[in-house]
Structure 1
């Protein structure tokens, strides 16, 4: 079978004889690309809006979502290293050709839905920073896929480094803004304690479901199972595979911890500045304007706060573009064994993703609020695709024929993951129902 992402598979050096921390640095990278999906523009709206409406209460939900993501991503990395295949390839083997094709369509829709969010975020950021019309901003995002291809020529490590710089930019921007907002530390600590209102209050529950739905991205499971194979560990040695799984898990957990802090910072910023103000922060433009006129805007400079927000939004959109295009290639090759030139694959995927945005721009004459409504529908697609990605992952990592006796899930991991899957499926069905109900 064709290697997953053959152009980068087994290309990044890894010295098994090196000291622990040097080996860890060699394995740093895949987790960065995975973490991008957990701090994309879709998360921003949900987290900041949740903080503005309900204070710090939903920090507990972010914590649980992040821990769940760590478990699922560690299983994805384990699958890729132990089997030598990605999740799409394994799913194709476990099911019929027809079912695999249907699954591919759904996952592709989920990737495109994610791509739409990044396109909207990037276009709005360009509009806020440089005054570019939204139509032109969307058109520019079609071209950034070629930038990815150019970087790929210099090695996969360069992509990981660029993603790391962009993530650091996002983190430090929001850390700066939160520190200037001077949130109440005791209230923050209390927010990590579960509150019964999360279940009993319909509004809080809906926002909590939105955070969960926006946090765990199905395409990340396919992405992670593939890119961990970029390292040059010994594919024939059980000890070497075990070591690779160990470092891949550490890498993933560290990067997802950073994503956890970013999402917490977003919610804390929303709570510290806007809780109790009755401001509607469900759109990027509203967030931008609110930061400009906020209390810390008068202290630090409203233009500084809002500009930094736009810079972080642009960085987030570009980061997610990289991971989305890689995920698209993985699922196409894995599910339907279709290989095309990378530039064609990425250009077509992005062109399809921007089409509904262009249509929306034409219909609503570039109305920012109407454009951002597309984000709601992207979350529905992600919710549908999530169980179709998690269930095959669980079946595969519990299968000795695929994983080998040494690498199947420990019993506690299997039980926890199945319970998590059931809960996520129920919550996502409820989220879909609630989302549809708001339009009727």
Structure 2
């Protein structure tokens, strides 16, 4: 088997936002919230495997399946507005953070170069990769970055040498005081709605009815499980390193931007560069995958081609990238747009999750590749938690 599509999902959810969230979790609560990562990884594997199976078995990405199976015009229009708002505009809003994170990493490594230059250079590099429209080129670049990111963060974990007993205790569910927001943030930064569109879209484009579908699904499930587990290990490494370095100390406000510098007293001068390289790789991977996910969602809902080589598809991805680059380069405040995107995502995630589960249980769509009864029973608590997460996120944004 060949790893590839699953690593796109890992590349997408391990970005500057995940690094920040995991760093804050470790700094504020030590190892106590590791159980949250385990839950998030299992839930993400379940949902992403369903989205992948949809693409493999039907040749349809999630957005196209949503558009073609909703028959009522008003509901179809509402679905299109919600998906384009949450995924299209949301991807553009988060793109600014991805580019900024990659720029911060490079600035830490090469401080003599003006930080003003980094964002446009990274945006141009990402745009060139996206405009090739070639799966192998884009996947190859992302695989290299994910491997680099893995080596960097796992190396910093080894250098930090967290006590194994404390790490293992973290797998026992607990809720320290004032930790609920961080728990939900860790889950929300791993179970990402646009990854369902991205994963199904990439595999739908590779759909080949002449292949042994059962075999392809098994290979895809393995790819998904390995790739997302790797993402979980990276997040665990960041959380554990932050816990060793900052938990129980008066370290001030921890973020992805300053953690690289603050690790230096504990891990030595090289750790500063290690973490900066990891931050740069995380920003780059998300900077490439966010426009792809947005393009799959927008083009699928509008009935346009979702082939990565299609000019219209590439232009949608580039527009998302350019918007993010402008916000990052001009120092504009993306907060209003991100709040809108978060509200739309909070509403979209449970709807898309329920729709995806419904869809992969329809024999008329999936033929012989529907969910098993056991899988449906296992996914119920995941859906309930996603509803709770979304309601909490929306209530915080509104009130």
Answer yes or no: same fold by TM over 0.5.
yes
Per the alignment, residue 385 of structure 1 pairs with 348
Moved more, 122-131 or 30-39: 122-131
Per the alignment, residue 415 of structure 1 pairs with 377
Q: What is the alpha-carbon distance in structure 2 between the residues aligned to residue 160 and residue 93 of structure 1?
A: 28
Alpha-carbon displacement from aligned partner over 1:299-335 (angstroms, at most 9, x marks no partner) = xx2xx21112111111111111222222222112210
Pairwise CA distance, 1:375: 7.3
Structure 1 pair 251–288 and aligned structure 2 pair: CA distance change class (3 A): same
Structure 1 pair 376–36 and aligned structure 2 pair: CA distance change class (3 A): farther
Structure 1 pair 192–182 and aligned structure 2 pair: CA distance change class (3 A): same
Aligned positions of 1:67-82 closer than 5 A: 67-82=42-57
Q: What is the alpha-carbon distance in structure 2 between the residues aligned to residue 228 and residue 401 of structure 1?
A: 20
Pairwise CA distance, 1:399: 1.4
Q: Unaligned regions of 5+ residues in structure 2, if any?
A: 306-310
Per the alignment, residue 112 of structure 1 pairs with 92
Structure 1 pair 54–433 and aligned structure 2 pair: CA distance change class (3 A): same
Per the alignment, residue 308 of structure 2 pairs with none
Aligned positions of 1:270-349 closer than 5 A: 270-292=242-264, 294-297=265-268, 301=269, 304-338=270-304, 340-349=311-320
Structure 1 pair 345–377 and aligned structure 2 pair: CA distance change class (3 A): closer
CA contact (8 A) 2:13 2:286 kept: no
Alpha-carbon displacement from aligned partner over 1:225-254 (angstroms, at most 9, x marks no partner) = 121245464x157xx111111110011001
Q: What is the alpha-carbon distance in structure 2 between the residues aligned to residue 110 and residue 389 of structure 1?
A: 15
Matched, 1:122 2:129: no
Q: Unaligned regions of 5+ residues in structure 1, if any?
A: 1-23, 364-370
CA contact (8 A) 2:299 2:313 kept: no
Pairwise CA distance, 1:150: 5.9
Cα RMSD over matched residues?
Answer: 2.5
Q: What is the alpha-carbon distance in structure 2 between the residues aligned to residue 108 and residue 307 of structure 1?
A: 34
Q: What is the alpha-carbon distance in structure 1 between the residues aligned to residue 171 and residue 354 of structure 2?
A: 29
Select 1:193's aligned residue among 164, 167, 172. 172
Pairwise CA distance, 1:66: 0.5
Equivalent pairs counted in the alignment come to 388
Select 2:357's aligned residue among 387, 394, 397. 394
Q: TM-score, normalised by structure 1?
A: 0.81
CA contact (8 A) 1:213 1:383 kept: no
Q: What is the alpha-carbon distance in structure 2 between the residues aligned to residue 278 and residue 105 of structure 1?
A: 40
CA contact (8 A) 1:118 1:320 kept: yes
